[in-house]
Amino acid sequence: MTKLWGGRFTQTLDPSAVDFSYSLSFDYELLPYDIQLNRAYVDALTTAGIFTTAERDIVQASLDRIRDRIPQIIANLPDDEDVHSLVERLVIDDVGDLGKKMHSGKSRNDQVATDLRLYVKDAIEGINTHIHACFKALYDLASDHVDTVFPGFTHLQVAQPVVLAHHVLAYFEKFMRDQHRFADAYERADQCPLGSAALAGSNYPLDRYQLAESLGFSDITRNSMDAVSDRDFVLDALYAASMITLHISQFCEELILWSSSIVGFITIGDAFTTGSSIMPQKKNPDIAELLRGQAGAMLGQFVAVHELIKGLPLTYNRDLQDDKKYLFTALKTTQASLNCFAKMIPTIRVNTDRIHAALNSGHILATEIADYLAMKGLPFRSAHEVVGQMVQEAEAQGCQVHELPLSTLQTLSSHIKPDIHDWLSIEAAISKKNGVGGTAKTSIRTQLHHIKEAFKW
């Protein structure tokens, strides 16, 4: 293994320890960021008088050549201990002793913390683009189904009628919160630790604000000991990732259920379903199932990093090296999941016949009758009791509660008048819920309008 240290050692590292501590196999993902960091750092060292401008140009040109070779380097990873050792060694191989000045006043500790923050910021920007595609897909689906009445469920039992757009926009809200969580994670990642060196700060007159600015950070970290030990931003990003994949999992579970031949509310397009190797008739929602399955591992990755950090004393400890394994996997899976989800949603086709059949089950208008009675002056708890009896009667007659003849309803409650008919349709039940957040088509249209304005679609 090529390494940056060794002066004080008489023996070489045991091969098992070499293998165990080698991180280039995964931290090569930081290559572009480490090169970018070194480039900016060489500028800072030039201002600090360590490099002449001519020397700076030579080292930076070398870093540029390394950047151009990233794909080849990744295709054939050398045995350098980690990405930081690799970049420094490549510069030294290229420009000789001049390259040996590059590490003046910095440590791999502030370097890895900076690289990782750059990685997280970039990944969140990528995730954001995918979240926007999901927003658009959900908005389009909702816009197409403002008039599609749909059974709302609690406990997966038919509860009250809604419009399908309302159900879909519920996920829009969840994704909005997820986007905010990622924005928070971004903000916390957006401070530059470079200049913290190993733990105590740097002996060199580095302009940390200038360094931060040239690396695209909004601010600098305030405490070098915190800066090299802090991985809160990693956990923030992992938590946000676990939440959005959790929401994807929930929606996919519904899509899987709705697309089952038993339910038949929707079909998912051929581009996102697969066949069976034995049963020729099958059309399976495999992609939705795979999406449903990601959330558990996401939480696992959050917990893995949380437990790496638990109990770590200040400042840098090598345990931290492994945070990257979990972070990279989680953020890449998040991007891939969002990408698939956004593309699958527009392939959904809605089968209104099956939905109408479901709407005529579960005594879906029972609560409407209770509210009607309450508005006629009967205390709601008593109204609830009376409607329970009506449901019993309907069950006995083999019909829905709202299909009982007026006379039967009236024998069970003298408060029932012919105007009950204004309450006993799915459309009426929906249109009455016209407050903010309710399922009335007017409310949904307003909500869609606000979204369209906010997103400038």
> Based on CB atoms, which residue is closest to ligand ARG, 162 or 304?
304
Of 82-111, binders to ligand ARG (CB under 6 A) are 82, 84, 108-109
The count of chain residues that interact with ligand ARG, using the rule CB under 6 A, is 11
Gap between the Cα atoms of 45 and 268, Å rounded: 58
Q: Is 155 a catalytic residue?
A: yes
Cβ contact 241:330 at 8 Å: yes
> Based on CB atoms, which residue is closest to ligand ARG, 82 or 236?
82
Give the number of other Cβ atoms within 10 Å of residue 118's Cβ.
21
Catalytic residue among 25, 261, 276, 361: 276
Gap between the Cα atoms of 82 and 24, Å rounded: 4
**What residues have CB less than 8 Å from 342, skipping those under 6 apart?**
130, 133, 134, 136, 137
Q: Contact letters (x/-) for ligand ARG, 287-316, by CB under 6 A?
A: -----------------------------x
| Residue 321 found at the interface with ligand ARG (CB under 6 A) | yes
> Based on CB atoms, which residue is closest to ligand ARG, 88 or 254?
88
Gap between the Cα atoms of 198 and 110, Å rounded: 6
| Residue 224 found at the interface with ligand ARG (CB under 6 A) | no
Classify burial at 320, counting beta carbons within 10 Å of its beta carbon; exposed 0-12, middle 13-18, buried 19 or more. Answer: buried
The pairing of strands 191-192 and 219-220 is: parallel
Of 28-57, binders to ligand ARG (CB under 6 A) are none
Minimum distance from CB of 82 to ligand ARG (Å)? 4
Minimum distance from CB of 5 to ligand ARG (Å)? 8
Minimum distance from CB of 308 to ligand ARG (Å)? 11
**What residues have CB less than 8 Å from 172, skipping those under 6 apart?**
135, 138, 139, 142, 451
> Based on CB atoms, which residue is closest to ligand ARG, 310 or 318?
318
Q: Is the peptide bond before 315 cis (omega within 30 degrees of 0)?
A: yes
Cβ contact 210:170 at 8 Å: no
Q: Which tokens sit at 16?
A: 């098992």
Gap between the Cα atoms of 268 and 259, Å rounded: 7
| Residue 149 found at the interface with ligand ARG (CB under 6 A) | no
Minimum distance from CB of 208 to ligand ARG (Å)? 20
Minimum distance from CB of 117 to ligand ARG (Å)? 13
Which residue among 44, 45, 73, 112 contacts ligand ARG (CB under 6 A)? 112
Residues that bind ligand ARG (CB under 6 A): 23, 27, 82, 84, 108-109, 112, 316, 318, 320-321
Catalytic residues: 155, 276
